[in-house]
A = this chain, B = another copy of it.
Amino acid sequence: MDKTKKPKKVFVQGPINPDFVAKSIASHQSKTGIGAHALFLGQIRADQKEGGVVTGIEYSAYEEMAEESFHQIRESAFEKFDLICMHIYHSLGLVPTGEISLFVFVSSKHRKVAFEASEYIVEQIKANIPIFGKELVSEGGYVWKENS
């Protein structure tokens, strides 16, 4: 299966394509111990800011540290939850409003584990990965995003 714990490539340039999600799903159909997949997708909202409406987010990261932090999240998730597979993808660079910047994909035998792991991993990413985001607004400026 997929339990090798070597660091995996997480960052992708620009938005995450729905077809990429489809390919990820299809590639798990040969893993017949899986009964449940939980997928989380983060999509860029057109929030209203002082300088207009958000048109996209420009992501940057401390990449070397982020890769290590993603690896720690992977390890702790595999320890806490009886997962069969786990994949994380996050965008760098510009992701326009309406497009996807985060894709967390966990698979397990039973559904409960998949639900719990999915939420755990997303919360860990929001809190612990050194990723930075500039929310570009329609009137030309930008606002630095801050996770709550």
Contact = CB atoms under 8 A, between A and B. Distances in A.
- The A interface, classified by DSSP as helix, strand, loop or mixed, is mixed
Stoichiometry, as copies per complex, reads 2
A43 B34 contact: yes
Contacts of A25: 18, 21, 41, 100
Contact of A23 (B18, B36, B38, B115): B18
Closest 9 CB pairs of A and B: A22-B22, A32-B46, A39-B39, A18-B25, A18-B22, A37-B41, A29-B98, A18-B26, A35-B45
Interface residues of A, number: 38
Interface of A: 18-19, 21-23, 25-26, 28-46, 97-100, 107, 109, 111, 114-115, 118-119, 122
Nearest to A107: B43
Contacts of A46: 32-33
Contacts of A40: 36-39, 111, 114-115
Of A36, A43, A100, A109, the most chain B CB neighbours within 10 A belong to: A43
A23 B21 CA distance: 10
A31 B79 CA distance: 37
10 contacts: A18-B23, A21-B21, A32-B46, A34-B45, A37-B41, A38-B39, A40-B111, A40-B114, A42-B111, A115-B118
B41 A36 contact: yes
